[in-house]
Amino acid sequence: MPDASPWKRVLLKCSGEALMGDGAFGIDFAALERIAGDIAEVAASGVQVGVVVGGGNLFRGVRTAASGMDRPSADSLGMLATVMNGLALADALKRGGTDAVSMSAIPMPTVCPSYTRRDAMAALAAGQVVISTGGTGNPFFTTDTAAALRAAELGCDLLAKGTQVDGVYSADPKKDPSATRFDRLSHGEVLRRGLEVMDTAAIALTRENHIPVMVFDLHQQGGFAAALTGRGLSTTITDD
Ligand code: UDP
């Protein structure tokens, strides 16, 4: 990473869908390796990196509940999906030579360490990439909210939300060609305009804790480092 990142400790939200690559379900190993490489690039530059990984490539509670399953059970499937993704991402990072640990908010000690703030803080300080899985550990939440929660409790100075587009647009740019991209927004504007960046709980949590949110394209190789150093396009959401 040629330029220095102004951010010292960053929480990356990586959706499950990003791990799908061009597929329709599951983990695409080429996409997994590429994203692990992008995270490794940032970690190697000295930025401490926490990651919250989603599970939408495997299960989404709301969608599964729509088929008749009760919502808390469906959400448990979703949270377990994030654990699988986190284990795969930690493995890809380690194979690439980057020290990483995947910690689950749902204790499963024979599979991976349980998430505790204390252990996560220690691992970040030691330079490990810390992947927080299992969401918040509670149904009726999303991994966006889990990302905001971890960013707040781990003292991250930025929540970097990796998406399929290079920022926040006035409308869905895939459906509306006249949609324009915002360079900057405030948390309040996102809530007032109902912009679909993250769910309301996640935006509210970042606003209360004065954590900027940077929305960038995680599908571009090197997009994470480019966004952090201001070389790539992104939208930054800051205090009102
Ligand atoms: N989930 C949950 N509680 C949490 C986080 C996630 O119950 O704190 C469940 C929920 O069912 C969600 C699924 O896990 O649909 C996968 O997470 P998400 O949809 O946020 O993943 P992403 O869209 O980022 O891939």
pLDDT at 2: 55
Per the structure block, which two tokens stand in for 220? 């571009």
Pocket test for ligand 1, best of 75, 80, 200 (most atoms within 8 A of CB): 75
Per the structure block, which two tokens stand in for 88? 């795969």
In order along its 240 residues, the chain shows pLDDT tens digits of: 657 889 999 999 999 999 999 999 999 999 999 999 999 999 999 999 999 999 999 999 898 889 999 999 999 999 999 999 999 999 999 999 999 999 999 999 999 999 999 999 999 999 999 999 999 999 999 999 999 999 999 999 999 999 989 999 999 888 999 999 999 999 999 999 999 899 999 999 999 999 999 999 999 999 999 999 999 999 999 997
Ligand 1 centroid–CA 56 distance in Å is 7
Alpha-carbon distances, residue 32 vs 21, 29, 95, 218 (angstroms): 8, 5, 12, 12
Ligand 1 centroid–CA 3 distance in Å is 34
Beta bridge partners of 129: 100
Q: What is the topology classification, in CATH, of domain 9-238? A: Carbamate kinase (3.40.1160)
pLDDT at 240: 77
CB of residue 16 inside a 6 A radius of ligand 1? yes
Pocket test for ligand 1, best of 58, 76, 82, 161 (most atoms within 8 A of CB): 82
Per the structure block, which two tokens stand in for 28? 């695409």
- For the chain, report the end-to-end CA distance as a whole number of angstroms: 31
- Taking alpha carbons only, the member of 191, 196, 171 closest to residue 181 is 171
CB of residue 143 inside a 6 A radius of ligand 1? yes
Contact by Cβ (8 Å): 225, 42: yes
For 113-230, where are the alpha helices, taking DSSP H only?
117-125, 143-153, 187-193, 200-208, 223-228
Please, which residues have CB within 8 angstroms of residue 131's CB and are 6 or more apart in sequence?
Answer: 50, 51, 52, 53, 86, 89, 90, 100, 101, 102, 103
Ligand 1 centroid–CA 121 distance in Å is 23
CB of residue 60 inside a 6 A radius of ligand 1? yes
The closest-lying atom of ligand 1 relative to the alpha carbon of residue 139 is 7
What amino acid occupies position 148?
A
The closest-lying atom of ligand 1 relative to the alpha carbon of residue 72 is 7
CB of residue 134 inside a 6 A radius of ligand 1? no
pLDDT at 227: 97
CB of residue 141 inside a 6 A radius of ligand 1? yes
Q: Give, for 82, the enclosing helix (H) or strand (E).
A: helix 71-95
Residue whose tokens read 């959400």: 75
